[in-house]
């Protein structure tokens, strides 16, 4: 999904993957949100990107948040 803001563009994505194999029961859940501002035809500045990844394997769960920013090149 994506939505357009006044001077930039925001993105929101969710994905989930599961395994049906009972020997390798695995769950993956990812949420990602970012906000980009276009500064040139092929360049944007990513003001913020927030990701949250949750994995579950054999009953053990890991929660992995991440915050980043940077330059985006469009080819």
Q: Map 3-66 to HEC letters.
A: EECCCEEEEEEEEEEECCCHHHCEEEEEEEEEEEEEEECCEEEEEEEEEEEEEEECCEEEEEEE
Condensed to tens digits (0 to 9), the pLDDT of residues 6-45 reads 445 666 666 666 555 555 566 788 888 888 888 998 999 9
Residue at token pair 């915050």? 67
pLDDT of 30 reads 83
Contact assessment for residue 12 and residue 24, using Cβ atoms and an 8 Å cutoff: no
Q: For residue 73, what pLDDT band results from cuts at 50, 70 and 90? A: very high
Q: Specify the pLDDT at position 21.
A: 57
> Do residues 43 and 27 make contact, with C-beta atoms less than 8 angstroms apart?
no
Confidence band for 54, pLDDT divided at 50, 70 and 90: confident
């Amino acid at each position: 999904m994506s939505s357009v803001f006044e001077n930039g563009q925001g993105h929101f994505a969710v994905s989930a993957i599961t395994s049906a194999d009972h020997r390798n029961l695995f769950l993956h859940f990812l949420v990602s949100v970012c906000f980009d501002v276009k500064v040139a035809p092929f360049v944007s500045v990513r003001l913020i990107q927030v990701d949250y990844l949750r994995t579950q394997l054999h009953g053990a769960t890991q929660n992995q948040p991440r915050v980043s920013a940077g330059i985006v090149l469009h080819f």
